[in-house]
Structure 1
Amino acid sequence: MSLVDLRECAAQLPDAWRSVVLGRVGTTAVKVLRMDGRELEQEVHGTAEVLFVADGVLELDVEGEALTVGAGELCQVPAGARHAVRPGSRGTLLIVEVPEGE
Structure 2
Amino acid sequence: MSLFDLHAIADGLPAAWRSTVLGKVGASNIKLLRMDQMPYGEEVHDYDEALLVVSGQMMLEVAGQALCVEAGQMYMAEAGVPHAVLSGSQGILVIVDL
TM-score (norm 2): 0.97
The percent identity for this pair of structures is 49
Misfit runs of 4+, over 3 Å: none
In structure 1, what is the equivalent of residue 12 of structure 2? 12
Structure 1 CA distance for aligned equivalents of residues 59 and 77 of structure 2: 13
Q: Is there any run of 5+ residues in structure 2 with no aligned partner, and where?
A: none
Summarize the alignment of residues 37-76 of structure 1 with structure 2, pairs less than 5 Å apart. Answer: 37-76=37-76
How many residue pairs end up in the alignment?
Answer: 98
| Coordinate RMSD, CA, aligned | 0.7
Q: Is there any run of 5+ residues in structure 1 with no aligned partner, and where?
A: none
Structure 2 CA distance for aligned equivalents of residues 41 and 23 of structure 1: 25
Alpha-carbon deviations, 1:20-65, whole Å to 9, x = none? Answer: 1000011100000000000111111111100000000000001111
Structure 2 CA distance for aligned equivalents of residues 63 and 5 of structure 1: 33
TM-score (norm 1): 0.93
